[in-house]
Structure 1
Amino acid sequence: MTDRKPSGKRLLYMGVGGLTLAALLVANGIAARTRHERDVTAWTEAAAVPMVSVFQPTQNAAGDTLRLPARLEAWSKAPIHARVSGYLKDWKSDIGSQVQAGQVLAQIDSPDLDQQVAQAHAHMLQEQANARLAQTTATRWKNLVNTHSVSQQEADEKSSNAAAAQANAQAAEADFARLSALEAYKTIRAPFSGTITARNTDIGQLVKADSDSDPELFDIADTHQLRLYVPVPQNYASVIRPGLQVQLSVPEHPGKTFSARLVGNSTAVDARSGTLLAQFVADNPDNALLPGDYAEATIPVPADTHGVSIPASALIFRAKGTQVAVLDAQKHVHLRDIHIGLDLGERLVIDQGLKPADTVIDNPPDALREGDLVKLADAGEQHARKA
């Protein structure tokens, strides 16, 4: 069987067909690659536009509350020290005892003071006798002057001696009165009605008068009312107004609140803490509140129609200061300077820079810049309603 060679014309057709097929394949490949690059570019551009959640500020028309740490102190409290030295003879009241003003708490045995009082009394009697004698002598010499029996100079000397003796008698009387008053401090009494909160002495203990190194003998506190001290940050100082009522809670009574009313404030901001110290008074008829307690005070913040409320997560802190990002109708970003009127923790009251009609970005990305285009997340409307 003999092989037949293809004709030249057929070979030409075959070559042209192959080239045409190759060209079509190349064209299809280029077109597919172009479409892919276009799709990638479109996806990249779409991905480059940040997705954000937005909300609209709300007016603080209903007011708010501010929770601050506070401390409770007794209405009156006093450490009781000894005014005379000696040994404690006995004590009448222990810790937890309710005492009345003037009630005896303890007695001090002070024989040294007793002897000083006796000596001062004797010295007073002696000086009084000398004063009477000097006065009698001065009177006699004055009468002798009238008869020219003595000179006027001698009579004047006797009058001066009488005056000096009278002054010595008065000094002795004052010294005796001082020691007698000091002797009264041998009996230690309650300065006011209250509760004994500490007893740091016992029978037979040596007591030293006016010693800073020794502890007080007793501590007494009046707890029928308690003072509530609240350090209020400077930003909230305007909230402290006459007639203000606050609620307070203490850890030992969870879920229970007590009422306190404002009695005054320091009228000055502490430079170290930047706070204004406000003092409230809380009634404590059942002694549920304890002096020295840590407490949390809830202070009402009045309504403010001039400011708007936003979540703290919307803030931007940069070199230009505190800002927020707002959107225009074309969804372009504009960074706006604001002023924080009140910081309520998770929420802020802005009194400058925002209006209720503004659209604000929540949790703005760090790379967000002025004029950037953004798109809204699906949850944006829900978040706006919550804000």
Structure 2
Amino acid sequence: MSQNTRESVWAISKSSIPFYRDGIAPGKEEGSKWVQVDGIIDKLSVSISGTVWAIMHDKIFYRSGVTPNNEQGTAWTPVEHNFSVDMLEAGGSCLWVYGRDNMLYVRSGMGFHSSSPNATRIGSGWKSTGSPTSPCGVTDMAITAQDDLFVLTDDNKLFKRDGCTQSCPEGVSWAKCALPRLGGGGFLGLGAAPEVISIAGGLEHLWAVTDSHEVWRAPYAGIITERSWERIPGQKMVYVCPSMCDKEITWGINNRDQMFVRTSPQVGRYEWLRQGTIMFRTVTVGVMLNYILPSEKSKPTLARANSVPTVQQDELKVTDMPFKIEQCDQMSEDLLNALVIPVLSEQEVLQRFNYDFTTEDTVLSGGVR
């Protein structure tokens, strides 16, 4: 995971209440607690630019006011559209929506990866395209870290949208991809093979979950064949969503609506760890800038000058001092002179003026040259 990014994890509870995961930081990718946000949400998706999108009452919204220091944002802001919505997936420079008319709509004018001066993170309009196997519908969508769109149809087929660019966000054609070779069920492999029920895009892999709750993944660079897929051992899931920052970290929900995160606590060992007691039905993972914590200030060193430097009268003003003005007003003239012309040792200044410099950066830091 880059030191400049971290995960942004949002989820919807069984009662349709949105939550975000607080306390996520480098080295603590699982976070610390779930924080409830206002609203009753049907669908939710976080982009790799940190924008949170949602469907509420057949309307599309984005969460305004979201920042690294205020991840829950301030309000749900509606976005204009003239079609009925069923599901949505957000990427870095795109937002794809599947409508109840069996059409796919992409948000144009989005600019996280765009050099266009008029592009914005919330876009400016819509462009449409048909589903890959009309009249069959779309049961799930996934967007990767590279903004590649994959769709899963209700006849259990997987397609990738080709030709998507900034000038043509809706793309030009569909390419069929292979699903994992699941094999048959029952005695001697007879019986119906399990089907893929959900897909999710990550940093390097496309992930899939079957109706037998097995988790699979395949690298999405190039053509996805049956041999591309590998089964992920461990906890069985009904829904997963991988990190866009780390190729191994993945969030998942099991068939008891319990949330887990797959981490790598030891070399070569990966575990699904339970995260909280809230019952969830879906989770989405995007990207947020790191919290930038100020470095702890070290105690400045005051050095005795070998000679007193000459200071012109017009070279120094009170506003040039590295203190707040109200602090300067509280200092005596002798103390200000000692700070400007450092002829005393640190101990002498502390004893004579009873002033603690541990929380201030002064002109004495590093000594006089």
Q: Give the structure-1-normalised TM-score.
A: 0.19
| Structure with the larger helix share | 1
Q: Give the structure-2-normalised TM-score.
A: 0.19
Task: Kindly indicate whether structure 1 or structure 2 has the higher relative contact order, using CA contacts under 8 Å at least 6 residues apart.
Answer: 1
Q: Which structure's CA Rg is the greater one?
A: 1
